[in-house]
Structure 1
Amino acid sequence: MDDHRFPCDRCGSDMRFDPAGGKLLCDYCGNETLLENAVAPPLAEMDYETALRAALPSSQIEEIGVSPCPNCGALIEFAADSHATTCPFCATPVVAGTGAHRQIKPRGVLPFALSEREAHGAMTDWLGSLWFAPNGLSRYARKGRRLSGVYVPFWTFDAQTRSSYEGERGTVHVEHRTVMRDGRPERVPVQKVRWRRVRGRVARAFDDVLVLASRSIPRAHADALAPWDLTQLVPYTPGYLAGFDAEGYQVDLEEGFAAAREVMDRAIARDVRFDIGGDRQRVHAIRTEVSAVTFKHVLLPVWMAAYRYRGASYRFVVNAQTGRVQGERPYSAIKIALAVLLALVLAGGAAYVYQMQ
């Protein structure tokens, strides 16, 4: 990727992208510079089959300098004159190496909308809502520890699908059966399902199926940060990365599409059940034809904090567009023990009141 440093044309200091103003800002002299893509048209899609054949134009391919984090394996991008940094995903020191990563250029970027202070407030509120988190961790997080702003790589996929299916539609009806109760016959209603074989077709157009292209963030964490408003994507320009870290993708295009197919197949299965109708459905087979597959490589903004607390590492991630927080959390044995004790006391009190009555 291009160098993320942008010297101020007044004083020469490095400028940074300011989420509040949506422009480049020099903290030293206050100089501001507007970015070209403040208002931009929808992003153009790229053809999936062309990319698999490695036939994309050279203008869509780039080579970036990266070094893998020795702890979590994240591909950390380095500017040309940078020699060391701290991994934003796990707080491990990383030294620039001689490695290079050839990749498809980002098509779009979702600019940071939350400042570090706003993200820190969201994270602190989230920690405060965790009943069984140790008090020490919350106090540690509130000490103003810096967060790292990171652009995380994602793929988006569009596709047209046509699916044929075979299954059964179940209709529930009630029959009455005679059973013996207390030595006497009694008629009781019993639900039965009448099944009828069916087949049919469904079609669906998928737009911007989002797939994480990083292995540095647990997929569950990334999924929990959704939703993202991808209508706010703008054409990629290095200015949005000024002052932030960026990660090269580790999940390649073909693997990314396989993950997208899992999302599509679940949606198609829901469509099939809806099409079958009735009260119950059985799906025996679904055959799907996929066509017109296109994709984009995009960068989405995340504020990250990596803490070491009592010898263990904990990560917190904040959606830098919405403020949604997800993270790893320790549990306080003392708080859990007190909660169990309180539950036992309440249960004992309720039992005593019941016996007295």
Structure 2
Amino acid sequence: MAFPREDAQAVLEEHRFPCDKCGADLRFDPERNLLTCDHCGNQQPIDDQITTAPVIRELDLQSALAQHLPDTEVEVARVVTCPNCAALIEFDGDTHADECPFCATPVVTDTGTHRRYKPKGVAPFEIRERDAHKAMTDWLGRLWFAPNGLRAYARKGRKMTGVYVPYWTFDANTRTSYHGQRGTVHESVRTVTVNGERRQKRTQHVKWQAVTGRVARLFDDVLVLASRGLPKAYTDALEPWDLSRLEPYRPEYLAGFQAEGYTVDLEQGFSEARDYMNRIIQRDVKFDIGGDRQRVTSMDTKLSDVTFKHILLPVWLAAYKYRGKTYRFVVNGQNGKVQGERPYSAWKIAFAVVLGLIAAAIIGYLSAQSQ
């Protein structure tokens, strides 16, 4: 497994941003792109260095897998592990008990720490909680079979939690040699007799020709979810993410929000990225083979200049316990796209079935009368 070295001289990363007027904690305001104090209303711009920060730097994958990266690329974060969904959640130092934002399970903070590669980029929240909450309730409102009680509970319930979800991105140059076959379809026509009637029957034949070739592709920012706190189907449904809006990582963007530690390690993440790359390369190979049909016998891919980075993407999240079941809803913190459990009301489904049976009976009765 590719984890940061246990003997790396990483330090515990704890960031606080006290208001310079009242001492309360500041939080990042997505609407104004600055730090604001909910206690006294004071506003504080993010350090001007944000405009002169260097380009987000990629790290060499092979050096990381061989544990040869500098110790400065590693940090230690204080986290709590949810006993239900195993998510790694970061809380501020003043929080001693809370609910897991991913499954609403009560958790008690401890002194656990998580060694990780430092985030290189962060996509700051761009929509406010109230806008995310409205997007969620509007989405629920379009689900006719959703229980009315859950809709009302979500509409009047507590605020959504802003969580930065961890991802890996991978870059790579690839060159692939392949062997395959190109199929050319030919059509023949012959006359057959069916029930005494002569008809023409068309038959397709495929002529296969062996081919070899090479294709090349540059992959940039192949995105891999590094979390198991949410079902991958939910986070996939939040795509696309606008990675052009990534900013160099600054803890100020996390002020007032929670962050999840990655639970998919670097080696596992790259394995998922390779699967994605292989699918794209196979598509390129089939296009290169040409013809009417294609067969790919073998592919030999060489990778070079493989790099990665750990980034954080913004998700508004709500987890509601309703009648003994947890329902989770997520909202893309960039564009407001919603995904989540699709709840079903048993009585609404039964009512719809009864209506359907009544409608079928009426149609049958009218049909019988018309005859």
TM-score normalised by the chain length of structure 2? 0.91
Match of 1:7 in 2: 18
Give the drift of 1:345: 4.7
Give the drift of 1:81: 3.8
Amino acid at match of 1:17: F
Amino acid at match of 1:14: D
Match of 1:320 in 2: 333
Give the drift of 1:90: 1.1
Match of 2:34 in 1: 23
Match of 1:53 in 2: 66
Match of 2:3 in 1: none
Amino acid at match of 1:139: A
Alignment partner of 1:112 out of 115, 120, 125: 125
Alignment partner of 1:32 out of 17, 25, 43: 43
Q: What per-residue deviation string (whole Å, max 9, x for no partner) do you get for residues 109-129 of structure 1? A: 110001100000110111112
Q: In the alignment, does 2:243 pair up with 1:216?
A: no
Give the drift of 1:178: 2.6
Alignment partner of 2:184 out of 167, 171, 175: 171
Give the percent of matched residue pairs that are identical in Structure 1 and Structure 2: 61
Structure 2 distance, partners of 1:339, 1:182, is 49
Give the drift of 1:53: 1.6
Computed over aligned residues only, the root mean square deviation of the Cα atoms, in angstroms, reads 1.9
Give the drift of 1:311: 0.8
Match of 1:200 in 2: 213
Structure 1 distance, partners of 2:182, 2:352, is 48
Describe the shift of the 1:349–1:164 C-alpha distance in structure 2 as closer, same or farther (beyond 3 A): farther
Structure 2 distance, partners of 1:262, 1:337, is 43
Q: Which moved more, 1:173-182 or 1:268-277?
A: 173-182
Give the drift of 1:66: 1.4
Match of 2:270 in 1: 257
Amino acid at match of 2:321: R
Structure 1 residues 107-256: aligned runs within 5 Å: 107-256=120-269
The count of corresponding residues between Structure 1 and Structure 2 is 357
Structure 2 distance, partners of 1:144, 1:309, is 11
> Contact between 1:4 and 1:243, CA under 8 Å: does it hold in 2?
no
Q: Which moved more, 1:289-298 or 1:135-144?
A: 135-144
The DSSP-based 3-state class of the residue aligned with 2:273 is helix
TM-score normalised by the chain length of structure 1? 0.94
Amino acid at match of 1:114: I
The DSSP-based 3-state class of the residue aligned with 1:5 is coil
Give the drift of 1:349: 5.6
Q: In the alignment, does 2:287 pair up with 1:290?
A: no
Structure 1 distance, partners of 2:211, 2:344, is 51
> Contact between 1:3 and 1:238, CA under 8 Å: does it hold in 2?
no
Give the drift of 1:98: 2.4
The DSSP-based 3-state class of the residue aligned with 1:51 is helix
Give the drift of 1:79: 2.8
Structure 1 distance, partners of 2:358, 2:202, is 44
Structure 1, unpaired ranges of 5+:
none
Q: Which moved more, 1:161-170 or 1:181-190?
A: 181-190
Amino acid at match of 1:25: T
Structure 2 distance, partners of 1:348, 1:162, is 65
The DSSP-based 3-state class of the residue aligned with 1:6 is coil
Structure 2, unpaired ranges of 5+:
1-11
Q: In the alignment, does 2:290 pair up with 1:277?
A: yes
Amino acid at match of 1:24: L
Match of 1:304 in 2: 317
> Contact between 2:14 and 2:77, CA under 8 Å: does it hold in 1?
no
